[in-house]
Structure 1
Amino acid sequence: MATAAARLLLLLAVAGVLLRPATAEIKQESFKDDSRSSILFEKFGFSRRGFVSISISGASTSSKLATPDPAQFGFFLLSDEALFEAIYEQPPPTDLNPDPNPNPGCVLSSPYVKPLFSFADLDGDGNYNKTFPVTHPDEYSLYFANCAPESLVTMRVRTEMYNANPDGSKDYLPVGQAPVPAIYGFFAFFYAAFLAAWGYLTLSRDRVTAHQIHHLMSGLLVARLLYCLSAAEDQHYIRVTGTPHGWDVAFYLFQLVKGVVLFAVIVLVGTGWSFLKPVLQDREKKVLMVVIPLQVAANIAAAVVGETGPFLQGWVTWNQIFLFVDVACCCAVLFPVVWSMRSLRESSKTDGKAARTLAKLTLFRQFYVVVIGYLYFTRIIVYALKTITNYKYRWVSVAAEEVATVAFYLFMFYMFRPAERNQYFALDEDEEEAAELALREEEFEL
C-alpha cells in the first residue's frame, strides 16, 4: 500500500489503542468545517447478527482547491487484524489486477477495509440513512475518511451499533461486555455485605477502639457500593436502549467520589492519622490538597472521554490528561507512607519501645508494598488485559480490576481494623527484647 495510506492507517491504529469502552452505542454528533483526514466513531464487538446503522443529514464539502470528488469521503469498518495487515502487507499485483489499490492515497480503496458508503451515495440534500449487516463476527472500528486534500466536511451523523437477539430485540453492549452488568451487580452485593460487617465492627463490638479513620473507611465502602450499583444500572440501560438515560451522571459522580475517598484513605492511613496521631503535619495536608484536585481533574477528563467519544477534536489530548493525572495521584499517595516509615525508624532510636515501633514499621512496609502492587495491577495489568484479550473476553479486565480492589480493601481493612490489642498496643517483655534485637540487626544491615 502506498506510504500515505499506510501512515493514515497507522494513526488509526494508535487511536484504536487509546479507545476506551463506550458509554453508549447510539451516538449523535455534528461536524462543522472539519478538516481531519480520519474520524474514529466507535469500536464494537459484533456477533454473527451484528448491525451498523448510519444516518447522515446536511452533509456538504468545501475546498480551496478543485471541487472534491464525493467518492473520496466515506464511512468504513476496520478490524484490528485487518488494520495491521493493511499497514504491513501489500497485496501482490496480478494480471487481472495490476494495481490492487487504484487510489493509493485513500484508505477507502484499501482491500483490507469494509467500505460502507461514500458521499457519492447521498441524495441531493446531503442525506443518507441505511443499516448494514455485519455477517463476520469480530471487533470493528467505525471510521469516516476524508481523502480530499485541504477539504472541509460539514454533516450531522447518527450512528447505531448493536447485535440482534434471537427474539429480534437489540443488544447495544458489545459481545465482550455482555457479562459486565452482572459483574458489577455481584460486587455491589459483596460491598453491601462488607459494609454491614464493618459497620457492626466499628459501631457495635469495637466502638470504643474505633477512630475517625475507620468511619472514613466506612464512607469508602459506601462510595464503592454506590459506584458498582450505578455502573450495573448504566450498563444494563445501555444494553436495552443504547443510551444510559441519566445513569451516566450517577456513574461519573460516584466514580469521582470513590476515587477521591480511596486516595484520601490511602494518604490518611499512610500517615497514621487518628490511630497514631490526632493531627496531620503540613506536608501531609499538602499531599491531600494536591491529590484531591488531581482526582477531580482525572474524573472530569474521564467523563469527557467517555461521553464524547473519539470523534471529538482533542480527544487524544483528554486521554493523555487522564493518564498523566492518574499516574501523578498514584505517585503522590506513596509519599506519606514513606514519611511514616522514616519517622518510625527515627523514633525507634529514642522512644524505648522497640517492639511496638517494629510492629508499626513492619505494618507500614506491608501497606506500602500492597499499595504499589494494587496501583500497578489496576493501572498496567488491567490495561494490558483490555489490550491483548480477545474481544469476546473484554469483561475479564473488569472482573480482574474488581477482584484486585476487593483483595486490597480486605487487606487494608483487616490490617487497620479497630481492636483493643493489635500491633500498636501492649506487648510483653519477651517481644520487646526480640524487637530491640531485630531493630539493631536491621540497622547493622543498612
Structure 2
Amino acid sequence: MARGFAPLIFLTLLLALISSSSAEIKTLKINSDSRSLIFFEDFGFTTSGSVSIALSDVSFPPSSSPDLFGFFLLSDASLLQSIHDAQQPHQNPAPLPNCALQSHYVQPLLTFNMLSAARSFNQNFSIHHPDEYGLFFANCVPGAAVSMSVVTAMYNARPDGTLDYLSVGQSAVPSIYTFFVVAYFAGLAAWAYICVRNRLDAHRIHLLMAGLLLAKALDLLFAAEDLHYTRATGTPHGWDVLFYVFKFVKGVLLFTVIVLIGTGWSFLKPFLQEREKKVLMIVIPLQILANIASAVIGETGPFIQGWVTWNQIFLLIDVACCCAVIFPIVWSIRTLKETSKTDGKAARTLAKLTLFRQFYMAVIGYLYFTRIVVYALKTITSYKYRWASVAAEETVTFAFYAFMFYMFRPKERNEYFVLDDDEEQAAEAALREEEFEL
C-alpha cells in the first residue's frame, strides 16, 4: 500500500477503538508541526450536516506546493472500501497515491492554494451523504513544518434551523444520563432509609457506599448538563470542570468500596491488614493518574501530539486498577477456606464464603462487560446507534450497584452472622464436600 494512505487507514482504525464522537467547537494552535496526518474528530452527520473550518496565520515552506497541504473528510463507508480494495490488488491494479488528498476514497475540503492573500480561510461545507466522517489535515511534504490557527465545528441543522453540535449517535445520551440520575438519587434515598431503619446494624462502610451513590448521581448529572450545553452551543460552559471532579470522586470511591468490601472491612474486622492497605495505596494514586489522563483526553483531542499515548496510559491504568481490586476478594475467599477447618462455625463460614464468591463473580462480570463488551459495542454498532453502548454500560453499572448494595445492606440478620443451628450440620457437610473436591 502506498506511503500516504496506509497510515491513514491505521490511524482511523486505532482512533475508532479508543475515541468516541466529539461535538465541541475546536480551537487550536498548531506550531511547526510536520506530521503527515492530523486527526481532528469523528462526527455522525444527517443530510443537513455541515463542517465549518476557519484558518488564520497559516505558514508552510514557500518552496512546497500549497496543494499538498489541506483538509479532507473520510467516511466509514470509504474506509471499509479502501481496506477491501487493499486486500484484493487484482481488482485494483492502479497504485494508491502517495498523498491522501489525492485519493479517491477521501472527500477533499480545501487545500492551501485556496487561502486568501492574508493566509486565512473561512468556509462551511455541506454534507450530502449522511454517514460518520473523520476530519483530517494532510501534509504531503515529508518533513515540512506547518503552523496555523484552526477553528473547526461539525453540526447538524434541526428542522427549526437551530444547530445541533452532538453527533447523531450521541443525541440520546443526555436523556439516558438523566434517567439514571433519577434512578441513582432514588437509590440513595432508599439506601438512606435502610440505613436509618437499621442504624444499629449499619457500619462505616455503609456511609462510604452512600457517598458512592451520591458521587455517581452527580457524575451523571453534570455529564448530562455538559452534553446538553454542548448540543446547543458547541461548548460545555464550564460544566466539564464539575464533571471531571465528580468523575474522579466516583472512580476513587468505587474502587475503594470494592476493595473494602472484598476485605470484609467494617463487617468482619475493624482494621485493614498491611497488604490490604498497600492495595488501597496503589489503587487511589492510579485513579488519580487515570483521571488526569481522562481530563487531558477529553479537553484536548486527537490533534495534539501524544494524544494516542495518553489514551494508552488511561487504558493501562484502568486495567491495572481492575486487576488490583480482585486480589483482596481472592484473599478473603482463601482465608475463609482456611478458617473453615478450625473455627467450628460451619454455617457462618459457608455463608461468608458464598457471599464473597457471589461478589467476586459480580465484580468480574461488571469489569469484563464495561471494559470489553462496551468497547466491542462501540466498534460494531452503526454510528447512528452509538448511544446503545452508553445505555448498555449504564444499565449494567446500575445492576452491579444494586446487587452490591442489596447483598451488603445493613440488616439484623446479615449473612455474615448466620448461626442457625438447624443449618449447622448441612453447612459442615457442604464444607467437607468442597474440601474433598479441592
Matched with 2:150 is: 157
Matched with 1:331 is: 323
Pick aligned residue for 2:180 from 182, 187, 192: 187
Pick aligned residue for 1:83 from 79, 84, 92: 79
1:198 paired with 2:191, answer yes
- Asked whether the 8 Å contact 2:22–2:166 carries over to 1, the reply is no
- The residue identity in structure 2 corresponding to 1:48 is T
The Cα shift of 1:13 comes to 2.3
Matched with 2:266 is: 274
Cα distance in structure 2, aligned partners of 1:424 and 1:100: 72
Query: How many residues matched?
Result: 437
TM-score (normalised: structure 1): 0.95
Matched with 1:343 is: 335
Pick aligned residue for 2:433 from 420, 425, 441: 441
Cα distance per residue 1:130-151 (max 9 Å; x no partner):
0000011000000000001221
Cα distance per residue 1:163-221 (max 9 Å; x no partner):
00111110000001101111101100011110000001102x10100000011000000
- The residue identity in structure 2 corresponding to 1:160 is A
- Asked whether the 8 Å contact 1:163–1:171 carries over to 2, the reply is yes
Cα distance in structure 2, aligned partners of 1:19 and 1:308: 14
Cα distance in structure 2, aligned partners of 1:219 and 1:115: 51
Cα distance in structure 2, aligned partners of 1:29 and 1:41: 10
Q: How does 1:11-410 map to 2 (within 5 A)?
A: 11-22=10-21, 24-62=23-61, 67-89=63-85, 104-203=97-196, 205-410=197-402
Cα distance in structure 2, aligned partners of 1:138 and 1:35: 30
1:4 paired with 2:3, answer yes
Cα distance in structure 1, aligned partners of 2:278 and 2:399: 29
- Asked whether the 8 Å contact 2:201–2:412 carries over to 1, the reply is yes
- The residue identity in structure 1 corresponding to 2:200 is V
The Cα shift of 1:18 comes to 3.9
Cα distance per residue 1:241-278 (max 9 Å; x no partner):
00101011011111111010000000000000001100
Cα distance in structure 2, aligned partners of 1:6 and 1:24: 26
Give % identity.
63
- Asked whether the 8 Å contact 1:25–1:238 carries over to 2, the reply is yes
User: Alpha carbons of 1:22 and 1:219: their partners in 2 closer, same or farther (altered >3 Å)?
Assistant: same
Task: Tell me how large the CA RMSD over aligned residues is.
Answer: 1.8
- Asked whether the 8 Å contact 1:22–1:309 carries over to 2, the reply is no
- The residue identity in structure 2 corresponding to 1:105 is N
The Cα shift of 1:84 comes to 3.0
Cα distance in structure 1, aligned partners of 2:137 and 2:84: 22
- Asked whether the 8 Å contact 1:181–1:235 carries over to 2, the reply is yes
Cα distance per residue 1:391-411 (max 9 Å; x no partner):
000000111011001100111
SS of match in other structure, 1:89: helix
- The residue identity in structure 2 corresponding to 1:43 is D
TM-score (normalised: structure 2): 0.97
SS of match in other structure, 2:60: strand
- The residue identity in structure 1 corresponding to 2:98 is G
- Asked whether the 8 Å contact 2:22–2:43 carries over to 1, the reply is no
Which ranges of structure 2 fall in alignment gaps of 5 or more residues? none
